[in-house]
Chain A
Amino acid sequence: MSGRRSRPRQSSGTTRISEDQINDLVIKLQQLLPELGDSHRSDKVSAARVLQDTCNYIRNLHREVDDISERLSELLANSDTAQAALIRSLLTQ
């Protein structure tokens, strides 16, 4: 990404969100992603790709949380066993 230079054209009283700041945020976001987090590819991936992968990742996480909560609700259905299990797990931890 060459040529990143923000030229403030308006008066000095206003602050504009420059591309650099957005780039920094996107890079920070990219480091969180599981597949794009490699450091040697930091300047080869476009921002749109990072954002797209972020959206997909968040959707995946949502779905995973839903699945696990389904599983948890079934496990917690039997409350007596769950109570004893939770107490026991807390004691062992």
Chain B
Amino acid sequence: MASLISDTEPPSHPHPSSTDLLRRKKRLSASSSASVTTGDDGDSHHARWRSEKQQRNYSAKLIQALQQVRLGSSSSSSAAATPSPKRGKAVREAADRALAVSARGRTLWSRAILANRIKLKFRKQKQPRPAAAIPAVITTTGSISSSGGGGRRSWKKRRVTVVKLNKKSIPTVNRKVRVLGRLVPGCRKESVPVILEEATDYIQALEMQVRAMKSLAELLSGSNSAPTRPI
């Protein structure tokens, strides 16, 4: 996976410290991933976002952020030339991209993030999922279609019928699921169970992202205030 990350972001600057950093990063990530062997990666993706993935996303994001900073500082020599919201957004986008890359393309939202960043207009088709959490959604030509009507796509016809039970308020649940689908990237027009599953993975990924960025910020702020640290 480290090679995949370096493929997407080729180090354009032959600065010795950055390449040194990259090499050290790969060694660190390789050693950490080798030490932490998760045997339940296929079973529950809860553990995935908490163990070795964290290290990988961390290192990937560091590389990204470094390059962003490089570009920012090289283009503007004077301080505060670039407005801070632009830099903040660049950091956010780099973090999101690193997060999506570390998802290994198995989830819909990660593919949507990467597709949006590269400005491609076509969406890849979903890979066949080995997990049996959701049974196969077969297209039906039933008369009852999911409310909202946003499931029309020209290249893929998929209509899901939801069994209407009397105890639940189906329109409310559907409406909220639609709102949730708008929050999760790439799930705007998906069916209800797809949105729910994507949301579970997305929330865990976001939590990990927050954790990693927080620790990174604390590292930086700690080192900035105290330049000499006991190693």
A-side residues, CB < 8 A to B, are 1-4, 6-7, 10, 13-19, 21-22, 24-26, 28-29, 32, 47-48, 51-52, 54-55, 57-59, 61-62, 64-66, 68-79, 81-93
Q: Is B1 an interface residue (CB 8 A)?
A: no
Residue contact B176 to A61, C-beta cutoff 8 Å: no
Chain A residues within 8 Å of B196, by CB: 22, 25-26, 28-29
Nearest 9 CB-CB pairings of A with B: A85-B223, A51-B176, A25-B196, A73-B87, A70-B88, A69-B92, A69-B91, A61-B206, A14-B140
B110 on the A face (CB < 8 A): no
> Would A73 and B84 be within 8 Å (CB), given that A29-B199, A32-B203, A65-B92 are in contact?
yes
In the docked arrangement, what's the CA distance between A2 and B65, Å?
51
Chain B interface (Cβ < 8 Å from any Cβ of A): 17, 20-21, 24-25, 28, 62, 65-66, 68-70, 73, 79, 84-85, 87-92, 95, 133-138, 140, 142, 160-163, 165-169, 172-173, 176-177, 179-180, 183-184, 191-193, 196-197, 199-200, 202-204, 206-207, 209-210, 213-214, 216-217, 219-221, 223-224, 227, 229, 231
Q: How far is the CA of A13 from the CA of B176 in the complex (A)?
A: 30
CB neighbours of A16 from chain B (8 A): 140, 142, 160-163
- B98 CB to closest chain A CB (Å) equals 12
Q: How many angstroms between the C-alpha atoms of A16 and B54 in the bound complex?
A: 37
- Residues of B near A71 (CB, < 8 A) are 217
Contact flag A92-B213 (CB < 8 Å), given A3-B166, A48-B176, A54-B203: no
Question: Which residue in B90, B137, B191 is a CB contact (below 8 Å) of A15?
Answer: B137
A88-B223 in contact (CB<8A): yes
Would you give the shortest CB distance from B161 to chain A, in whole angstroms?
5
Nearest CB on B from A56, distance (A): 10
A16 to B209, CA, bound (A): 35
